[in-house]
């Protein structure tokens, strides 16, 4: 059942570029036919790792999922956009905020914020040990 026609749940998409866009398929659904939360968590982890790896200039490993809110259900066929931003840079860790929006019934521009999460990644070296995050280079 699609419940997104309620205007109070509709949110415009942010104007910046998402890190990731993906559409869940029937194989990503749970036994009730809605999208499985674990599948959404995996996509959030991928989206968050992109700015973390870029900022740390190398590989990262997820050390913590600090918070995760499934605010609205996700349906098979929704077009999901994942927005991921650096919120904190530590000595070896980077904390990333991820927001997920679903475009449902896309021809009707029906957009809903479905998920918010905060994750921490650690920059790692070739031995999978923490490494110091380099300073930002400004050109
Ligand atoms: C990532 C890993 C290499 C870090 O090694 P570690 O010895 O545990 O790291 P440290 O204790 O030195 O902490 C590293 C950083 O993580 C931070 N950190 C540790 N525990 C944390 C937590 N629970 N929440 C948030 N940040 C945390 C530390 O504060 C530190 O950040 P800082 O240097 O910016 O201050 C190691 O924990 C690991 O390999 N974990 C498995 C990673 C993985 O497989 N992820 C996918 C799982 S599905």
List CB contacts of 32: < 8 A, sequence separation 6 or more.
Answer: none
Query: What is the mean pLDDT of the segment spanning 101-110?
Result: 83
Instruction: Read off the pLDDT of residues 74-104 as tens digits, 9 standing for 90 and up.
Output: 999 999 999 999 999 999 999 999 999 999 9
Q: Greater confidence, 136 or 51?
A: 51
Distance 93 CA to ligand 1 centre (A): 7
**Is residue 64 lining ligand 1, measured as CB closer than 6 Å?**
yes
**Is residue 90 lining ligand 1, measured as CB closer than 6 Å?**
yes
**Confidence at 64, pLDDT banded by 50, 70, 90:** very high
Taking CA atoms only, the protein residue closest to ligand 1 atom 47 is 62
Tell me, what's the pLDDT at 12?
Answer: 84
Mean pLDDT of the chain: 92
Tell me, what's the pLDDT at 134?
Answer: 94
* Most informative mutation of 63, 96, 124 for ligand 1 (most atoms within 8 A of CB): 63
Q: What is the dihedral of CA 11, 14, 18, 23, to 10 degrees?
A: 20
Beta bridge partners of 93: 122
77 in Cβ contact with 24 (< 8 Å):
yes
Domain positions in the chain are 7-123
Closest CA relative to residue 18, chosen from 41, 46, 40, 47: 47
52 pLDDT exceeds 80?
yes
Which of ligand 1's atoms lies nearest the C-alpha of 132? Answer: 33
Instruction: Read off the pLDDT of residues 7-19 as tens digits, 9 standing for 90 and up.
Output: 445 788 888 899 9
Tell me, what's the pLDDT at 6?
Answer: 55
57 pLDDT exceeds 90?
yes
Classify domain 7-123 at the CATH topology level: Thiol Ester Dehydrase; Chain A (3.10.129)
117 pLDDT exceeds 50?
yes
Strands 110-123 and 60-70: antiparallel
């Amino acid at each position: 059942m699609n419940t997104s026609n309620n205007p109070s749940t509709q949110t415009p998409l942010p104007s910046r570029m998402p890190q990731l866009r993906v559409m869940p398929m029937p194989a990503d659904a749970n036994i009730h036919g809605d999208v499985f939360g674990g599948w959404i968590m995996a996509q959030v982890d991928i989206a968050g790792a992109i700015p973390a790896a870029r900022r740390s200039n190398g590989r990262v490993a997820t050390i913590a999922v600090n918070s995760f809110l499934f605010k609205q259900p996700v349906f098979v066929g929704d077009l999901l956009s994942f927005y991921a931003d650096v919120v904190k840079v530590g000595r070896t860790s980077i904390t990333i905020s991820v927001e997920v929006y679903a475009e449902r019934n896309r021809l009707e521009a029906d957009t809903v914020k479905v998920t918010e999460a905060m994750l921490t990644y650690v920059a790692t070296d070739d031995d999978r040990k923490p490494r110091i995050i380099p300073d930002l280079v400004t050109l």
